[in-house]
């Protein structure tokens, strides 16, 4: 086989109880397996439905603003670790994750499970990639947490973009992950490409309007990688999408779109031709060969200059 199928699980946001997410998630995975999927991809933080409790006593709006943006506004206090999130955080060795590990082995299908993960200090926003044998192949915690937002300011960010070799019926595939806001930084996808990723799995939990969809297409184009993104269903949401990473063919420019969902809940298979992608990557000019890293010094600097300075109402700049 040279094709790989990723099932985009575009699901309604569940209740916060993990029992409900477990039942609905299992049903979606079984549907994905029946459709011939090699990998089932959940939306962001499936274990609690990416739900949080508003904290009105802390004020509304962004935690971090430009200094001029605080005029006349009450400060928004950064919540304590994990405060405000619905549901209990789950650990990698929890019964919840264990259930999906057993399910993956039963179905012979990899599962990209997303969780509100228990972590020292404060929970993380995490993807556990479980292989078709039920083993954990990759753990990715969201690096670019939306720290400007009170809810995600209470999470521990990840610190790397790692790639794993996933054993599938189509053979070994090099797989990485980005979570939601991660995909809005070109460095995320570039780091995954440099680490050898052929396929990048992207759980999401926000509206996917034209600009974000075009941005995601660009990540596939400039890195010659297959990208698959699963979002929650619902009005103004949905549009789970996949691109195959091959922007040009024998006849010139081509549409990289593999599948795009509407807003309705469902399981949407995205079929990738791995042989074609690998041949494309071996001959085309994007990716790594013609980069000039010695010229990119500013990319590794942590300095923030105007107009991008952001601080809390108390004058604390964004941690770096």
Instruction: Count structural domains, the chain.
Output: 1
Predicted pLDDT at 92: 97
The distance from CA 119 to its chain's CA centroid, rounded to whole angstroms, is 18
Structure confidence at residue 178 as a pLDDT band (50, 70, 90): very high
Distances in Å between the alpha carbon of 302 and those of 12, 188, 298, 318?
38, 16, 9, 11
Is 180 within 8 Å of 149 (Cβ atoms)? no
What is the rounded distance in angstroms from the CA atom of residue 37 to the CA atom of residue 57? Answer: 46
Predicted pLDDT at 59: 54
Predicted pLDDT at 55: 64
Burial per residue of 13-52, b for 16 or more beta-carbon CB atoms within 10 angstroms, e otherwise: bbebebeebbebbeebbbebbeeebbbbbbbbbbbbbbbb
Is 99 within 8 Å of 115 (Cβ atoms)? no
Identify whether 81 is part of a domain.
yes
First to last CA, the chain: 45
Identify whether 300 is part of a domain.
no
Predicted pLDDT at 111: 99
Q: Which has the minimum average pLDDT: 2-6, 74-78, 268-272, 314-318?
A: 74-78
Complete edge-to-edge strand list for the sheet that includes strand 226-230: 163-168, 171-177, 199-203, 226-230, 241-243, 257-260
Structure confidence at residue 211 as a pLDDT band (50, 70, 90): very high
Identify whether 316 is part of a domain.
no
Identify whether 39 is part of a domain.
yes
Considering the chain, what is the average pLDDT of its residues? 94
Q: Which has the minimum average pLDDT: 52-66, 148-162, 220-234, 261-275?
A: 52-66
Identify whether 109 is part of a domain.
yes
The residue behind tokens 């506004």 is 73
* Position 217 pLDDT exceeds 80: yes
Burial per residue of 58-82, b for 16 or more beta-carbon CB atoms within 10 angstroms, e otherwise: beeebbbbeeeebeeeeebbbbebb
- What CATH number does the domain containing 155 carry? 3.60.110.10
What is the rounded distance in angstroms from the CA atom of residue 218 to the CA atom of residue 200? Answer: 13
What is the rounded distance in angstroms from the CA atom of residue 102 to the CA atom of residue 259? Answer: 29
Structure confidence at residue 138 as a pLDDT band (50, 70, 90): very high
Where do the H-state alpha helices sit in the chain? Answer: 18-34, 95-107, 186-194, 210-223, 274-283
Domain that holds residue 223: 3-288
Structure confidence at residue 194 as a pLDDT band (50, 70, 90): very high
Identify whether 319 is part of a domain.
no
Identify whether 92 is part of a domain.
yes
* Torsion region of 111: left, alpha or beta (phi above 0 gives left; psi -120 to 50 gives alpha): beta
Which tops the pLDDT comparison, 72 or 308?
308
What is the rounded distance in angstroms from the CA atom of residue 249 to the CA atom of residue 112? Answer: 31
Q: At what angle do helices 186-194 and 210-223 cross, to 10 degrees?
A: 30
Structure confidence at residue 81 as a pLDDT band (50, 70, 90): confident
pLDDT tens-digit readout, 271-307: 999 999 999 999 999 999 999 999 999 998 999 999 9
Q: Is 77 helix (H, G, I), strand (E, B) or coil?
A: coil
Residues 6 or more apart in contact with residue 75 via CB below 8 angstroms: 59, 312, 313, 314
């Amino acid at each position: 086989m040279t094709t790989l199928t990723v099932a985009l699980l575009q699901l309604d946001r569940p209740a916060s109880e993990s029992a409900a997410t477990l039942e609905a998630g299992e049903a979606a995975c079984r549907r994905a397996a029946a459709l011939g999927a090699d990998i089932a991809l959940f939306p962001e933080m499936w274990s609690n439905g990416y739900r949080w409790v508003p904290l009105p006593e802390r004020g509304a709006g962004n935690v971090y603003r430009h200094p001029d943006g605080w005029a006349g506004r009450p400060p928004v206090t950064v919540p304590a670790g994990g405060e405000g999130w619905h549901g209990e955080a789950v650990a990698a060795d929890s019964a919840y994750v264990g259930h999906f590990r057993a399910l993956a082995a039963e179905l012979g299908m990899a599962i990209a499970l997303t969780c509100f993960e228990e972590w020292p200090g404060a929970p993380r926003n995490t993807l556990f990639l479980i292989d078709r044998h039920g083993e954990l192949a990759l753990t990715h915690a969201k690096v670019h947490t939306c720290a400007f937002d009170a809810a995600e300011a209470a999470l521990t960010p990840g610190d790397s973009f790692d790639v794993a070799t996933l054993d599938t019926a189509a053979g070994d595939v090099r797989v990485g992950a980005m979570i939601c806001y991660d995909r809005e930084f070109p460095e995320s996808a570039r780091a995954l490409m440099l680490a050898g990723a052929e396929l990048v799995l992207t759980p999401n939990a926000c509206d996917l309007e034209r600009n974000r969809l075009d941005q995601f297409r660009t990540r596939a184009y400039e890195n010659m990688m297959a990208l698959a993104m699963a979002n929650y269903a619902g009005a103004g949401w949905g549009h789970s999408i996949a691109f195959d990473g091959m922007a040009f063919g024998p006849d010139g420019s081509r549409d990289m779109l593999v599948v795009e969902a509407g807003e309705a809940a469902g399981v949407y298979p995205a079929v990738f031709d791995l042989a074609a992608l690998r041949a494309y990557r071996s001959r085309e000019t994007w990716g790594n060969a013609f980069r000039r890293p010695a010229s990119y010094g500013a990319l590794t600097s942590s300095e923030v200059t105007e107009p991008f300075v952001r601080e809390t109402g108390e004058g604390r700049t964004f941690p770096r």
